[in-house]
Copies of this chain bind each other. A is one copy, B any other.
């Protein structure tokens, strides 16, 4: 009966969804939640605004899906650190470079926008609440302890070290999206001095 088979339809839908979400994160990150108009997203994705609503019931749903994806991505990024080669400090170094290479910046930017915007729906705020730095600290704790035992990383409360270091990384990512205003991204080795034994 169906003129296009199930699979073709599914593929179209998936492609469109990705296309829209890609456009949306770009616009949200740059213009803020309230500053982003659905028509901008549609234009960026090259479709009509009507079609946008065929795929996402509302601006809120689109934002929610984006945040969910961002959080899953962040978790992925952090958890990948153990698969990197070398000593703990080398792993952290490689991880830091990956973070700062800007490809994930829109996601961090989006989360920052959500976090600092008061006009965001409660549901999205809740999602973000789970994206607590504590989860990431837990992930990295064994690595930092190992580094401290190896004499590579500064002594002291490792949770505090991690939190401070990740805060700086996150902050730089948020700030640097557009490399405007003369900000210059610090070299990774400079950042590592904050936590490494020299």
List residues of A whose CB falls within 8 A of some B CB: 29-35, 109, 112-113, 115-119, 128-129, 131-134, 137, 160, 163-168, 170-172, 174-178, 180-187, 190-191, 193-195, 198
Contacts and interface: CB of A to CB of B under 8 A. Distances in A.
- A contacts with B: majority SS: helix
Given A171-B171, A193-B194, A194-B190, A181 B132 contact: yes
Contacts of A132: 181-182
Contact of A117 (B35, B131, B194): B35
Contact of A175 (B174, B185, B190): B174
A34 B35 CA distance: 5
Given A168-B168, A190-B194, A175 B112 contact: yes
19 contacts: A29-B116, A30-B116, A31-B119, A32-B33, A34-B35, A116-B177, A116-B178, A131-B181, A134-B182, A163-B183, A167-B175, A167-B176, A167-B184, A170-B175, A171-B174, A171-B175, A171-B176, A193-B194, A194-B194
